[in-house]
Amino acid sequence: MASAKRPLSACLSDPGLARENNEDRVLCDPERGIYAVIDGVGGESGGEIAAQTAMEILQARLSRRTTDPSRLIREAIALANKQIWERAQANPALAGMACVLTVAVVDDGQVTVGHVGDSRLYLLKPGQIKKITKDHSPVGAREDTGEISEAEAMAHPRRNEIFRDVGSAPHEPDEEGFIDITRIAFEPDAALLICSDGLSDLVTSQTILGTVEADAGNPKRAAKALIDAANQAGGKDNVSVVLVEGERYAAAVRKARPALTARETPRPAVRGAAAKGGAGRRIFGAFWGIFVSRPAFLLYGAILGAFAFAAFGQSLLGGIIQGPGHPAASSGRVLRVGGEGGTATIAEALGQASPGDTVEVMPGTYREALQLRSGVALVSRVPRGAVLLPPPGSSAPAVSAQSVVDAGVEGFRIAGDAQAPLQVGIRLADSDVGIDGVEITGAQTAAIDMVESDRSEVRYSFIHDNPGGGVLVESNAAPRLIANLIAGNGRTPGAAGRPGVEVRDGARPDLVENRFEGNAAGGVLLPNPERAAEVYSWNTFTGTARADAVRAPAPQPQQQQQQPAPPAKPRRGGRP
């Protein structure tokens, strides 16, 4: 570090109360200003191997300051991604292993943060805590945008699903949608906290702040208190923290909060959900309620009432929080596909499933055309680790839903190959289901086709390089497309280009916070210009002129569309 006086720092990692092994790794190198938390994904030994690989590469590459920190971090994370991926490909026992990580390089009053996944970095000042990183998870993203509260996010039954990781697929250092890089000032009266979701899923940010301030000036003791708080709240996952204090942080805290000169550990205000389900990072089991005083209950009735109710019936609360189009949390069965004791095909498991069940698919390639069932969640245990390919000679969609409700598809990669080209990735008709974190590529007709009175929701998905176009919305469908990356679609040699999203007939989709880039015929094609301004303002269009971002036929002037055949003077004011 260039600073004359190094910040105080400490790190600690604990397996928690529900696990024997620890898939987390921490890195704390104050001499070089390198700090990180890495959380392994993969179950068995895979998660530990992935996390250890990433930690060793980060430490080695970031110790040599050959270029600016942003570039170094990108290259280090990309190299870790490459080595984890190649190691998993070489050893079937490690298939699907990956990790999430947050790394910070502190240098001369600046912090450069590299981030992939749902670990977190907080910036603390006396009486204040601010989350710097954005969660790459469906629930975390909703919390970041304010759609749901921190309490709702912590209690959400899908809290631990992720749509970005390091190691499950090849990536380049500068690839869009892979590594987040953030630079912030690190002032002497501030502190940094990096943590795994084993802490943030169980302990509220305000409790984290109070715990750190109670031990300001002693980061080792504060780190231990944070671990204790997570374990007191259930300890359902590995929990790791790295705490870095500026040289005047403790004095600033004492000045702002003189009552905290002696140690006091706030009781965790919220107790979270159950542990991650290995690589799939699914939540299983019930979460504990909160015990509060009667005045506090009256003050916070709505929120605490939801938690108290959840202690007796998580499935109903999960349905309330998730909203329509997603299967409610359930105490139903988990039917596994692949691996020891699992069915050989996804269709077989779907055939055995009942409403409330989850079909969890191990990493692998599956040549199947699937029909969704109401009330059944279909989940790839490792995000994009389960790949759906069409059966040879089949033109059926990879996934279909006809009049299906309360179902979901999460984390799959859907593609075609030379043996069986993909026509349509997902076809949803008159259904209300949730599509989360899927990748669809290579579709010759459309990646997703939504027809009839469909009301489904597609979120946090990567829809790219489909020659037939991205999403086709027809008939009277009114789905929601939220926070998807829709890129490089509609490019077929010798054919007219297609847009990222094409809306036909009387369809009225909601398009919110999607990013469009490089689609052959622009971002969105609407049947009329009525909603063009709305769609343009609610979404992001990269490298696309305004006129091509959202296109619609120009309004037709009112003229003689119903004129008789013989020549006559055109009427004015007729129907368009």
Clarify whether residues 151 and 187 are in a common domain: yes
Q: What confidence score (pLDDT) does residue 518 get?
A: 92
Alpha-carbon distance 483 to 147, whole Å?
13
> Are both 368 and 414 inside the same structural domain?
yes
Q: Do residue 249 and residue 301 come from a single domain? A: no
Token output for 314: 């998580």
Quickly tell me which residue has 């912030």 as its tokens. Answer: 184
188-199 per-position pLDDT tens digit = 999 999 999 999
Does residue 132 share a domain with residue 68?
yes
126 lies in some domain: yes
Same domain, 351 and 421: yes
In a domain, 262, yes or no: yes
Q: What is the percentage of the chain residues whose pLDDT exceeds 90?
A: 66
Give me the DSSP letters along 305-333: HHHHHHHH-HHHHHHHHH-TTSPPP-S--
d(CA 525, CA 472): 10
Band (pLDDT 50/70/90 cuts) for residue 221 is: very high
Specify whether the CB–CB gap between 387 and 413 falls below 8 A.
Answer: yes
**pLDDT at residue 305 in the model:** 41
Q: What is the mean pLDDT of the chain?
A: 84
> In the structure, what pLDDT confidence band is assigned to residue 473 with cuts at 50, 70 and 90?
very high
pLDDT at 556: 61
- CATH no. for residue 209? 3.60.40.10
pLDDT tens string 283-331: 222 222 333 333 333 333 444 344 333 443 433 333 333 444 444 444 4
The verdict on 251 and 296 lying in the same domain is no
Q: Is 532 helix (H, G, I), strand (E, B) or coil?
A: helix
Domain that holds residue 450: 334-551
Q: How far apart are the first and last CA of the chain?
A: 71
State the pTM of this model: 0.53
CATH code (residue 431)? 2.160.20.10
What CA–CA distances, in Å, run from 101 to 45, 166, 194, 419, 558? 18, 8, 10, 37, 59
pLDDT of 532 higher than 80 = yes
Asked if the structure places residue 328 within a domain, the reply is no
The span from the CA of 400 to the CA of 428, in Å, is 6
- pLDDT at residue 258, as a whole number: 57
Contact between residue 126 and residue 190 where contact means Cβ atoms under 8 Å apart: no
Instruction: Pick the range with the lowest mean pLDDT from 41-55, 221-235, 275-289, 464-478.
Output: 275-289
Find the angle CA(139)-CA(141)-CA(143) to the nearest 5 degrees.
Answer: 70
Mean pLDDT across the stretch 499-516? 94
Task: Decide if 451 is inside a domain.
Answer: yes
Is 473 inside any structural domain?
yes
Closest CA to 285 of 294, 295, 275, 300: 275
Q: Are residues 44 and 173 in the same domain?
A: yes
Count of positions (residues) in the chain: 576
Considering the domain architecture, whether residues 264 and 300 belong to the same structural domain is answered as: no
* 314 and 213 fall within a common domain: no
Weakest-pLDDT range from 79-88, 130-139, 327-336, 557-566: 557-566
Assess if residue 355 is contained within a domain: yes
Domain contains 562:
no
Q: Which two tokens stand for residue 455?
A: 């009301």
Clarify whether residues 311 and 453 are in a common domain: no
**Exposed/middle/buried for residue 484 (C-beta within 10 Å: 0-12, 13-18, 19+):** buried
Q: Say how many domains are in the chain.
A: 3
- Confidence tier at 542 by pLDDT (50, 70, 90): confident
Strand partners, 449: 427, 472
pLDDT for residue 140 is more than 60: yes
Share of the chain above pLDDT 70, in %: 82
Convert the pLDDT of each residue in 4-38 to its tens digit.
467 899 999 999 998 889 999 999 999 999 999 99
Q: Is residue 563 part of a domain?
A: no
Beta bridge partners, 459, equal 436, 482
Closest CA to 54 of 35, 34, 39: 39
- 343 and 485 inside one domain: yes
Give yes or no for a contact between 456 and 401, defined as CB atoms under 8 angstroms apart.
yes
Amino acid 193 reads: L
- Per-residue pLDDT tens over the stretch 241-264: 999 999 999 999 999 865 444 444
**256 and 391 part of one domain:** no
Range in 104-118, 257-271, 348-362 the model is least confident about: 257-271
